[in-house]
């Protein structure tokens, strides 16, 4: 009888030991897996393309050979280092202005620019390197333009087909992309110039004198 009780106790202790070992192994596996995932993410981020901002860096994640850039901060306007930069403005909404001033990269004129409108925190997809990101941008032909701009065309670009981008700004003009009936946008999508962006121009001394003379 005593032997039977002892054997039952031993079985319980053995089972508890096995369960504890299994639980510990499971915990180690989870830690290892999460550690590997973190290591993989760090490695991917180090390989991703980083768009430099003047006082911060964009967050990048390498995902299927594409770098996802979350746009942060606002660059100074006088930078001319040939990198794709980002600017956010308009308070409640985040509009991202992407432009490249490197004439060696075949995006059109050196002052070509792209702008996307999205909600705060949205991620914008570019390729890993600026030289190859042309595949993610498709040129738009301008079907309509105001007479005062008849002598020059604005370099307007939108993201490749499948991306919903309807408004953009380039060369001082606000523009709108006209999507197809199914809502898609592609390289033959039409774009119209809505209006030149308003700029505050200081009044000259001459105009002030003319105003005073007219008043007298």
pLDDT tens for each residue of the chain, 216 residues long: 444 554 555 554 455 554 555 444 444 433 333 344 343 333 333 333 233 222 222 222 222 112 223 332 233 333 333 333 333 222 222 233 333 333 332 222 222 333 333 222 232 333 223 333 333 333 333 333 333 332 223 333 333 333 344 555 444 445 555 556 776 554 444 555 555 545 445 555 555 566 566 665
Q: Which residues of 21-36 are buried (b: 16+ CB within 10 A; e: fewer)?
A: eeeeeeeeeeeeeeee
Q: How much is the pLDDT for 213?
A: 63
- Measured between its terminal Cα atoms, the distance across the chain in Å is 124
Q: How many helices (H) and strands (E) does the chain have?
A: 2, 11
Q: How much is the pLDDT for 5?
A: 54
Burial of 192 (0-12, 13-18, 19+ CB in 10 A): middle
List beta partners, residue 211.
none
Q: How much is the pLDDT for 211?
A: 59
Rounded distance, CA 156 to CA 99, Å?
11
Domain layout of the chain by residue ranges = 1-38, 47-196
Q: DSSP letter at 36?
A: H
Q: How much is the pLDDT for 209?
A: 61
Q: Which residues of 127-156 are buried (b: 16+ CB within 10 A; e: fewer)?
A: beebeebeebbbbbeeeebeeeeeeeebbb
């Amino acid at each position: 009888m005593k032997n039977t009780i002892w054997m039952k106790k031993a079985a319980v202790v053995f089972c508890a030991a096995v369960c504890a070992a299994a639980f510990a192994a499971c915990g180690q596996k989870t830690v290892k897996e999460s550690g590997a995932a973190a290591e993989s993410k760090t490695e991917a981020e180090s390989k991703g393309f980083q768009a430099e901002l003047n006082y911060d860096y964009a967050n990048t994640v390498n995902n299927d050979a594409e770098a996802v850039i979350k746009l942060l901060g606002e660059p100074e306007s006088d930078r001319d280092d040939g990198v794709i930069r980002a600017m956010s403005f308009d308070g409640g909404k985040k509009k991202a202005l992407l432009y490249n001033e490197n004439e060696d990269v075949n995006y059109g004129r050196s002052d070509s620019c792209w702008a996307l409108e999205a909600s705060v925190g949205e991620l914008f997809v570019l390729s890993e390197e600026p030289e190859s990101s042309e595949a993610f941008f498709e040129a738009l032909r301008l079907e309509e333009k105001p007479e005062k701009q008849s002598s020059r065309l604005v370099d307007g670009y939108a993201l490749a087909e499948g991306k919903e981008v309807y408004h953009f700004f380039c060369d001082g003009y606000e523009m709108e992309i006209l999507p197809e009936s199914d809502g898609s946008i592609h390289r033959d999508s039409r774009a119209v110039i809505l209006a030149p962006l308003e700029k505050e121009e200081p009044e000259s001394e001459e105009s002030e004198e003319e105003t005073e003379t007219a008043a007298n």
